[in-house]
Amino acid sequence: MRKKHLLFITWLLLLPWLVFPAPADYASRASNYDGKIFHNEHEFILLKDIPKDAPVWALSDKEVIPENQLPLKTPDFTGETAGGELFFTWFGHSSLLLQMDGKNILFDPVFSKRSSPVQFAGPKRFTPPPCSISDLPEIDILIISHDHYDHLDKNAIKKMDSKVKKYVCPLGVEKRLKKFGVTEDKITNMAWWEEIRLEGIDIACTPARHFSGRSLSDRFETLWASWVLSDGKYRIFESGDSGWDDHFQRIGAKYGSFDLAFIEAGQYDIRWPAVHMKPEESFDAAKALGAEHVVPIHWGTFRLARHPWDDSVQRVVKAASGSGIKVITPYIGETVPFSKIQDHQNRWYESLR
């Protein structure tokens, strides 16, 4: 009888751990994890009380949403990469495909109509994606910067999972992916400053100044990040979402100058000045990284702030004038070979309203 009682008591003690598994041991890998949530190196406050009609300084005089759909190009995923050529295709916002050393590396694929937990409400795309998920090539590595809806699209992940070999994400985001149906063996999670070699590509998870969460109750529970990639020939930086901070200088100092940097340059607002950069700060980030070429991203697809739809890219171009840093502005969907990257400085958005 005592044995039965002992087994029953043991079962009761174990029940909470069976129902609610112990949290992952992120603290041993991430100094910015306190056992419950992640922290930025320098904290910030989101300003909720600024009136929505507060003045917006802008270089562009356009509306926040373009009058017509933006022009699209048809991607070409068949570029010859045997010689180590680099290609990239920007799908709008922060979604892009990097073809590097013969590998297809996809960042933050968002293909849904709205950046929202539901598809009947929320920010709507200015224009459809330039291709369908079925048009994408086999993906060697899919990298997620953080779990906000405009970067982690559940529907897209579920539809493309069968063609993805490996996922790389910041700590905690793997739980989102597994809920979407991705098997654990395909996922590598990373803390800031961790490095791996995957499919012949060196990948470093680097800091960003932002936050995470897909509801009001889970903010900061998963990590957010920027990324450094190298194949021995090219060195690439992808910013994820980030406010300006000194991590850009430290990334540049650790990993050296970058051939190409994809840097967020949109959705800035007086209400959240610390978690998205003003375009001039995006250019400052490119300088701090030692980037030779910069592609402004996080614009041209969704209205998430109050600035004109093309204000960000116009201001980055102006800030970079005379600096020697080339601002590359491809059409949405246009596949750019690095060997001809300077041919893609056409300011196509200027003639549109």
d(CA 120, CA 125): 12
Which H/E stretch holds residue 261? Answer: strand 258-264
Q: Got the DSSP string for 151-178?
A: T--HHHHHHHGGGEEEEEEETTHHHHHH
Residue 18 has pLDDT above 80, yes or no: no
pLDDT tens digit sequence for 223-277: 999 999 999 999 999 999 999 999 999 999 999 899 999 999 999 998 899 999 9
Residue 55 in domain: no
Residue 62 in domain: no
The CATH number that applies at residue 218 is: 3.60.15.10
Residue 35 in domain: no
Identify the pLDDT of residue 2: 57
Residue 89 in domain: yes
Residue 79 in domain: yes
Residue 282's pLDDT band (boundaries 50, 70, 90)? very high
Task: Say how many CA atoms lie within 13 Å of 67 toward its Cβ.
Answer: 6
How many domains is the chain built from?
1
Residue 66 in domain: no
Identify the pLDDT of residue 20: 43
Residue 8 has pLDDT above 70, yes or no: no
Residue 50's pLDDT band (boundaries 50, 70, 90)? confident
Identify the pLDDT of residue 55: 76
3-state DSSP helix/strand/coil percent for the chain, to nearest 5?
25, 20, 55
What's the rounded mean pLDDT across residues 4-22? 47
Residue 26's pLDDT band (boundaries 50, 70, 90)? very high
Residue 36 in domain: no
Contact criterion met (CB below 8 Å) for 310 and 300: yes
What's the rounded mean pLDDT across residues 161-173? 98
The per-residue pLDDT of the chain, averaged, comes to 92
Q: Scanning the structure block, which residue is given the tokens 């694929």?
A: 109
Residue 84's pLDDT band (boundaries 50, 70, 90)? confident
Domain of residue 158, residue span: 75-351
Q: Which residues contact 130 (CB under 8 A, 6 or more apart)?
A: 72, 73, 74, 75, 91, 92, 332, 333
Identify the pLDDT of residue 83: 62
